[in-house]
Amino acid sequence: MNFILQIIFSILSFYAASYNMQTLNGQNYRCGMWIVGFIGLLLISSFLLIATMIIQYFIKRSYQN
């Protein structure tokens, strides 16, 4: 899953960089790439949180049996 998300976010970051370079038109370069990194961080954190919850559920269930 991480590999698939890495591919998707790499493509999105390339499109964001291309769009920023095309809209430059003599202005200072502005970068929106931090948004892609932040979204990636949120997804990874969410995945780790859900995985931790699932592991804790199975551990609790094994002690109850």
More confident position, 27 or 20: 20
Q: At residue 63, does pLDDT exceed 80?
A: yes
- Please report the pLDDT score of residue 64 as a whole number: 87
How far is it, in rounded angstroms, from Cα 32 to Cα 15? 11
- The reported pLDDT for the residue numbered 34 is 74
Q: Are 39 and 9 in contact (CB under 8 A)?
A: yes
Which amino acid is present at 18? S
Count of C-beta atoms within a 10 Å radius of residue 54: 10
pLDDT at 47 over 70: yes
Residue 27 has what pLDDT? 65
Q: How many domains does the chain have?
A: 1
Question: Whole domain around residue 37: which residue ranges?
Answer: 2-64
Q: H-helix or E-strand containing 31? A: none
Q: Assess contact for 64 and 44: CB atoms under 8 A.
A: no
